[in-house]
Amino acid sequence: MSRHWYDLRVFTRDGDGGNPLAVVPDAVEVGVEAMQKGAAEIGYSETVYLDWPEGAEVPRVRLFTPAAEIAFAGHPLVGTAWLLRNVSPMKAVEALEPPVGVIPCGADDDTGWIDPPPAPVAPSGDPSLALDALGLPTVSGACWNAGLGQQYLMVEACDVGDLAALAPDYDRLRETPFAGGVCVWCFTGDDTARMRFFAPGSGVNEDPATGSAAVALASVLAWGDRFPEERRLMIDQGDELGRPCRLEITSTEDGNVRLSGAVTLEGTREVSV
């Protein structure tokens, strides 16, 4: 049995690049094993399955990498918010419900956004094995654990050169406690940053655009009172993969976060589920 899915590019930069996303709009009677198989067949970093329980005002969202189900991810939710506003007849949808809970969302003609809660932040344990596997000789300061649904290792590189030169040993990285997600980033200006994200334990060696890591970064910056003065940060990611992406995060004084980015529809496809 096959079902159709929407093929999107999320967090495009000036119309180029973006992180591919698959959205299966009808997950009725699709089991978890079939969802995982479908995500592996599609092969994108994330695949979304939408479930509309009878009488529910908020659609439930299941999120799968090629290797595992996850509780929260940014680019799938931003892309789904845009899709529901611009393609689905359900244009009044104002929230989505992934496993971490209900998250407000919205979109206009070009852009989707979500308003997730702040991510928990804590000083990291010993990250030396992960840093060695990344090939990162020095870092700018302390490393942090942060994230919604799952914790990422957040590492600030000293400069863009160190960031661009990363050549991770993914087999070694899988053997560390941070195989599910390592975000390496650095400021490139007062309100701009570059970022790379590695998650070989989730079947994604390097992701071209990682909204959940951007949300975690927003929380780390807010925790350390380092957010740009205008409470807005533009993040570029994916250049090393030939998929330029741009994510925008904004933060209010009370720590709330908005993640947004441009979205493009490529077409519809079919998957066996």
- Is there a catalytic annotation at residue 46? yes
Distance CA(132)–CA(129), nearest Å, equals: 5
Contact 75, 222 (CB under 8 A): no
What HEC string does the chain produce? CEEEEEEEEEEEECCECCEEEEEECCCCCCCHHHHHHHHHHHCCCCEEEEECCCCCCCCEEEEECCCCEECCCHHHHHHHHHHHHHCCCCCCCCEEECCCCCEEEEECCCEEEECCCCCCEEECCCCHHHHHHHCCCCCCCCCEEECCCCCEEEEECCCHHHHHCCCCCHHHHHCCCCCCCEEEEEECCCCEEEEEEEEHHHCEEEECCCHHHHHHHHHHHHHCCCCCCCCEEEEEECHHHCCCEEEEEEECCCCCEEEEEEEEEEEEEEEEC
Catalytic residue among 33, 41, 46, 69: 46
Distance CA(187)–CA(235), nearest Å, equals: 9
The residues carrying an active-site annotation are: 46
